């Protein structure tokens, strides 16, 4: 049994992830900003922790992380406001990584996106540019941290029923940004947390034919 904390606990991926983890006997704490979301989080089997990560200090985050075995970042500003995108997807994410180190929580799983990089190539006049910049910077900070990290890079997110099967790496990029069920991302989070070979890996994937467990075992 492990203690896992999910940041962005009311997001679609987080609400699908929590039941997978609690079903295996783990204790899940889901961080939310809006207390009105508590019932949804609890219905998914997690404990709700109301904390505004956008404005929380590193010390406040470290206090919240104490006693956890892993941190999962599944939060996002949701686009539309570049300043808030940088504040959440870059700055708050980076503070959470530093807070994890401060709290002695070594394991950290980041939900990013397929193609995320500081060399993302998105033009500055593209509305996606702030998000690409923010995620690229956050992922780079994580790679250079002292944490046991995994970066998950799913393709275009859908609400399709999860198949439990993905295509990883070169197979994920053959047709550009392909569909990836949020349910499959949730399963990938669960498998990553249980798979040492996923540490230090940026894993890009889309819906495919290989069972997730098998795909991660080959990393």
Residues annotated as catalytic are: 131
Upper half-sphere CA count for residue 185 (Cβ side, 13 Å): 31
Find, among 209, 205, 207, the residue nearest to 154 by Cα. Answer: 205
Q: Which residue bears the tokens 């997690």?
A: 46
* Residues 71/193, Cβ–Cβ less than 8 Å: no
The token pair at 145 is 């941290």
> Measured between alpha carbons, how far is 56 from 59 in angstroms, rounded to an integer?
8
Pairing of strands 210-211, 165-168: antiparallel
> Measured between alpha carbons, how far is 113 from 132 in angstroms, rounded to an integer?
9
The token pair at 34 is 């809006």
Which ranges of the chain would DSSP assign to H, the alpha helix? 12-22, 38-43, 58-65, 82-85, 93-103, 129-143, 170-173, 182-194, 212-217
- What 8-state DSSP symbol labels residue 51? -
């Amino acid at each position: 049994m492990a203690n896992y904390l999910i940041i962005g606990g009311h997001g679609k991926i987080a609400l699908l992830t929590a039941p997978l983890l609690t079903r295996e006997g783990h204790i899940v704490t889901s961080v939310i900003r809006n207390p009105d979301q508590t019932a949804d989080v609890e219905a998914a089997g997690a404990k709700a922790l109301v904390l505004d990560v956008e404005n929380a200090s590193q010390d406040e985050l470290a206090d919240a992380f104490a006693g956890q075995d892993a941190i999962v970042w599944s939060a996002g500003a949701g686009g539309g406001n570049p300043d808030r995108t940088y504040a959440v997807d870059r700055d708050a994410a980076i503070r959470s990584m530093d807070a994890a180190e401060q709290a002695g929580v070594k394991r950290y799983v980041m939900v990013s996106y397929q193609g995320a990089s500081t060399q993302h190539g998105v033009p500055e006049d593209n509305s996606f540019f702030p998000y690409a910049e923010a995620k690229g910077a956050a992922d780079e900070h994580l790679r250079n941290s002292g944490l046991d990290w995994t970066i998950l890079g799913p393709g275009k997110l859908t609400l399709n029923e999860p198949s439990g099967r993905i295509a990883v790496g070169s197979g994920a990029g053959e047709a550009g940004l392909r569909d990836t069920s949020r349910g499959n991302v949730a399963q990938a989070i669960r498998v990553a947390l249980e798979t040492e070979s996923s540490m230090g890996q940026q894993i890009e994937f889309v819906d495919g034919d290989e069972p997730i467990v098998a795909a991660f075992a080959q990393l």
